[in-house]
Homo-oligomer: A and B are copies of this chain.
Amino acid sequence: MAAQHTPLYTLTGSQALALLKQNAVTVEGYASALLERIKDRDPTVRAWTYLDPAYVLRQARELDQIPQDQRGPLHGLPVGVKDVINTQDMPTQFGSALYQGHQPSLDSSAVAILRAAGALIFGKTTTTEFTVANSGPGTTNPHDPNRTPGGSSCGSAAAVADFHVPVSLGTQTGGSIIRPASYTGIFALKPTFNAVSPEGQKMFSPTFDTFGFFARSVQDLQLLSDVLAIQDDEAPKGTPLEDMFIALMKTPMWPSAGQGTIAAMDKAVMALRESGIQVQEVDFPPDMANAATLKRIQKIICMSEAQESFLREYRMDKSKLGPEMRALLEDFKSTHKERVDATDTYNDMRRIMNGLSLQYSAIIAPSAADEAPVGLDDMGSAIFNTMWTGFHMPVVNVPAFTGDHGMPIGLSLVASRFRDQHLLRVAMALVEPLVNKGGWRAEEGSRQQ
């Protein structure tokens, strides 16, 4: 039994739930092990912005009191929650000086659903100011304290990568889930847009804002997806590796790829082909925008929506907004006509790309430009992520490879809208060729299929 040989904190969520179900461990015992780990490590990692150990243990004991036959499917599963996602029992401060001590009255939609299923809402993880800023909280990459874990879901990614909790919640408007998952070497799912209601997470750009989550196994992503009612039209069938057909898509952003990502894409092709999987390099369709236009369109939609979303904060007290927020609200200019045209063009591209993706088992694309950058002030670029967010397509980060500095480099698996469960099955099948044959390993514990 894993629990007898490895520390409890290294278990995946699915492994821990199995032990809880067998009464081999109590929720309190499990939570205590995680709290110990956090106590040891968080002075370095700084993943948490709010964590009350006494309250965690009180909740854990209450869960232990629930009779076995009344327990939910996530009974006792510790969940970290990004601090732009509302929790009714913990402050939610959006990484903003304006909201210090703010205590929401309701859980977000996702937190409410997970809590109702028995999850132990553990604490709040760090984020950047309103997820807009790209620096700030001082969270470090668990694999190198001199590097960023990536923004803006920095705390949620670092907490899972460093074994503080098995799973955590995040949001992605550009690349705020998939990029930190890549930088910290863990799995993550950004589901299809609106497959999970974003209610109760701070709005930034409603066309892009997407809820998602981090884990150290595909099975844990599956577990949360099932409870959150993420369903395909048809129950996905397991596809044998030899029947898979993968599109390798470097995307128009490829000139931004660094050596680590270039090498990772090459290694992926080799590993997949060695496993008998058909891989075809596929260009963006010729009627799609080029890189410059795509970036411009995304920026116009996202920034103009953000100006509406944050008008209230600007009017409340602009002196409490940081420089990136001020620049967004005061300096960014675009016309409504540009925005309307950008939105209509983007709708067209969304349809084209979703249609194209239906021809393949999945698309493989970069999750980030390279390894996590050195330093904590630059939390990396969303350049390889924003398009999939805007196309509303589900994305799984697979922590496959290692860069020149020994840091993880993930790859994105992408499918068409509302094929999330299919995508998870593909990811599960590709763990063997990509992760187990890839170069990346965490120092402690093991990622499970």
Name A's B-contacting residues (CB within 8 A): 102-107, 109, 112-113, 116-117, 194-199, 202-203, 206, 229, 232-233, 305, 308-309, 311-312, 315-316, 335-337, 339-340, 344, 347, 350-351, 354, 417-418
The CA of A196 and the CA of B351, in the complex, are separated in Å by 27
- Is the Cβ of B197 less than 8 Å from the Cβ of A311? yes
Smallest CB gap from A196: residue in B: B308
The contact sample of 15 A-B pairs, CB cut-off 8 A, is A105-B105, A109-B309, A109-B312, A112-B316, A116-B316, A194-B206, A194-B308, A198-B203, A198-B206, A199-B202, A199-B309, A232-B336, A233-B335, A336-B417, A344-B351
Q: How far is the CA of A339 from the CA of B104 in the complex (A)?
A: 33
* Residues on B with beta carbons closer than 8 Å to the beta carbon of A351: 344, 347
Smallest Cβ-Cβ distance to A334: which chain B residue: B233
Distance (whole angstroms) from the CB of A391 to the closest CB of chain B: 12
Among A102, A109, A196, A309, max chain B CB count under 10 A is at A109
A283 to chain B, nearest CB (A): 22
Q: How far is the CB of A59 from chain B (nearest CB, A)?
A: 18
Across-interface contacts of A106 in B (CB, < 8 A): 102, 104
Taking the nearest CB of chain B, how far is it from the CB of A18, in angstroms? 23
In the assembled complex, the Cα of A112 lies from the Cα of B203 at a distance in Å of 15
Q: Distance (Å) between the CB of A200 and the closest chain B CB?
A: 9
Asked whether A311 lies within 8 Å of B229 as measured between CB atoms, the reply is yes
User: From residue A421, how far is it (CB to closest CB) to chain B in Å?
Assistant: 11
